Every structure is written in C-alpha cells, then in structure tokens.
Structure 1
C-alpha cells in the first residue's frame, strides 16, 4: 500500500533549531539567576516540551518559577534572530511529497504557537495539511493521541501514514499509535537511540528519507 500521509517531527527533523534553543534557553536561565548549559547538553534536554527543558536545565523544582521561565522563553523565541534553518535536502523531500500528492503534517512537543510560527517562517512555500504543537491539557509525545487525531483529521488509516523523527519520542509515538516509523540521524539524537526504541527504518540523509518514503512496504 502506498503511503498517503507523513507526520514529521519539527526540531531536529525538518528544522535545525539547536542554536535557537541554546541561545534562548540560556538567556532565560541567566535572567532568572541560573547557570547556562552547553549546546550539547540541550541536544538531550530538548524534546519533552519547554517546561521540561527549563526545569531540567535550571534544576528548579518551583513550578511557578519554571512556568514564569516558560513564559519568558516563549516571548524570546517569538522574537528570535532566526538562528534556525531547515536541514539541507529537506525541501527536496517536501517537493517529492507534493509531487506524489502525499499529505504533510507536523507534530511537535514545542508549544503550538511556536510550532506554527516556525512552519510559517521557514517553510512558507510549502503547505502542511496539519501542524500541531504542545497544547494545554493534551498529552505530548510519546503519547500517540495527537498523532491519532491527525490521522482522523486526514481521514487516513494508520497503515497509510509514516511518522518521521529524530528521537525516541517520535519512534515510541509511532509504536504507541500503530504507525510505521522512520528515524533520522541528522537531528539531536543518535542512531542507537532510534534503533533501541524500535525504529522500523533509519535514514542518514534527506535523500535516504525520500527513498524510504517511496518504498515503504
């Protein structure tokens, strides 16, 4: 059966956001009196949503204080200097999907407004059918509820959709929802994490991803 839809992760899959995350998170930490973290540390701190990112980076257990940091992070990120950039070759993948009339979606643990902002800013030439980020009251990945909601919105079966991402959250979301998964190694995490969590296939470049999307069993 040929695929009819692809659900992409955003950070580390479509968009290289690690510099933006590092600069903005460290700016927030500094303004609240906490020590900064390295770019490599953020590679593993990111992925569970902004609240988890800042709570882990700061070591702070005061929920109100962390929530204030989250609000500040969102404000900074909305005004960022555009340090993020689409990964080289990703546009070719999107063009291929457009040519094949495959529906394109994004599911991220980044706040919903920031997820939509990134898509509008960096992918303005491409139409995504559904773009969903973290929303209050809705479980984030690896819970599969949002992925299943996307499938319902598209009117597609799970067997007609592939999930693509760079971390265990994406692979486990696919597994929890009954989707085929492709892990990509150009993002924040490594091949071992993807394989250890049950990725159905691995792509080491956007070109390989395009090939896998065309031959999915």
Structure 2
C-alpha cells in the first residue's frame, strides 16, 4: 500500500471514544424534555448517523414512538447546547491513535477527517486532543449537502487535496464509512472497536478489518521507515 497518499479518518469510534460526552449531553437533553435518562450502552448503539439521528433515536426510546417535528427541533437545540459544554472534556483516545497519526504524518501522508458530527463541535475537540496539526482538512456532517454513507464528502476531500480516490484510504468503524468509501472508489479499513450499531464491521466487507489502529503502520509504511522511527 505504498501508493496511498491520503488517509481519511472517521472521528467518533475511530480516533476517540466520544460516547461518555454524548451520553451526558443526551441525558441533559432528555431531562430538559421531561424524560428519564438513557443507559450508556443504548447511546453507544445510537451513535453513527449524526446528531439529528442520535437525538431522534433517544426521543423515540423515551416516547415509545417517533417524535414529531416540534419535539425533534426542541430536543436537537437542547442537545447542541449540552454537547457544546462537554464535547472537548476528558477525551479518551483508542489505543495507538496518537502514535499512529504521528507516524503517518511524519511519513508525509496527508490526513483528513470526515465525520458525521456537526462541524461546530469538531475544532474544539481536535484542539483539546492536540490533533489539529495532523489534519490538512476536516469535514463535519453538515459541511456539505451530503454526509456518509454518501461518497461526496470523501470525494470532496480528494478534489480539495488533488489526490485521486485510488490513492486514498478511508479508515472508520461503521458501515457508513465502508459504504461511503466503496461508492467513492477507495480502499477502506474497518475497525472492530467503534460504533456499528452492535454489528460486526466485517459484515460490511471492508478491504481490511483491524482490531488495532496501529495496523495502519504495517499496512502503509515501508519497513525502512518503521525501522528508522522505531529502531
């Protein structure tokens, strides 16, 4: 895989475990709307399709039926306020993330983030985690008209950085990431530890399945580079 010039990463469930913050924000929203709190495991299964869907799933569970437009709008506004207060607190990286990103960056790979999380929350998270300098381009779920699993965000990054999809790798933890990458004509790594609605990421048939993000170093970097950087 020496021909890969660009690596696009999902954020939640791929680089950071953001469920603790999302769980807190969801429960603040539910409390404000007069509902009982949700369990953390439930929130883990609701994450992955953006904030609107997360809020809708939480409301549906609380109400026992789909929320109407007014309920959804009020809850989404409450969620945004709550999440903005906690999104960048006590961030938890998955094992090997920081070292892997540093090695790829130092090796001259272009790195980008394509997340379905609303963009307004992303810069503060990257700044608090010390990751900002690694990424050339960052897209949120509302940065374009489409979001994953539509391929457009991934193709947009390729166009902006003038790198062909064939020389690009997508790295994510959910079916949305795999579907977007395949539709965009790029290879994809599926990580087993993130948020995929309780399903095995292998069922989505990514090109590679990894349980540890450090596998990217073996996949993408030459033996000479790894030797020079790790002895």
Larger Rg: 2
Residue by residue, what CA displacement relative to the aligned partner does 1:39-81 show, whole Å, maximum 9, x if unpaired? 1111121111111111111114212321222222222122117
Say whether 1:70 aligns with 2:76: yes
Query: Distance in 2 between the 1:126 and 1:191 partners?
Result: 33
Structure 1, unpaired ranges of 5+? none
Say whether 1:106 aligns with 2:113: yes
Residue by residue, what CA displacement relative to the aligned partner does 1:105-129 show, whole Å, maximum 9, x if unpaired? 0011110111222112213463311
Alignment coverage as a number of residue pairs = 215
Q: Is the 8 A contact 1:51 1:67 kept in 2?
A: no
1:85 is paired with a residue of what secondary structure? coil
Q: Look up the match of 2:165.
A: 158
Displaced runs of 4+ in structure 1, greater than 6 A?
A: none
Say whether 1:139 aligns with 2:146: yes
Structure 2, unpaired ranges of 5+? 61-65, 223-231
**Aligned-pair distance for 1:89?**
1.2
- Output the TM-score relative to the length of structure 2: 0.86
Query: Distance in 2 between the 1:210 and 1:22 partners?
Result: 32
CA RMSD of aligned residues (A): 1.9
1:96 is paired with a residue of what secondary structure? helix
- Output the TM-score relative to the length of structure 1: 0.91
Q: Is the 8 A contact 1:182 1:200 kept in 2?
A: yes
Say whether 1:117 aligns with 2:118: no
More strand by share: 1
Q: Is the 8 A contact 2:107 2:221 kept in 1?
A: no
Q: Look up the match of 1:25.
A: 26
Which deviates the most, 131-140 or 92-101?
Answer: 131-140
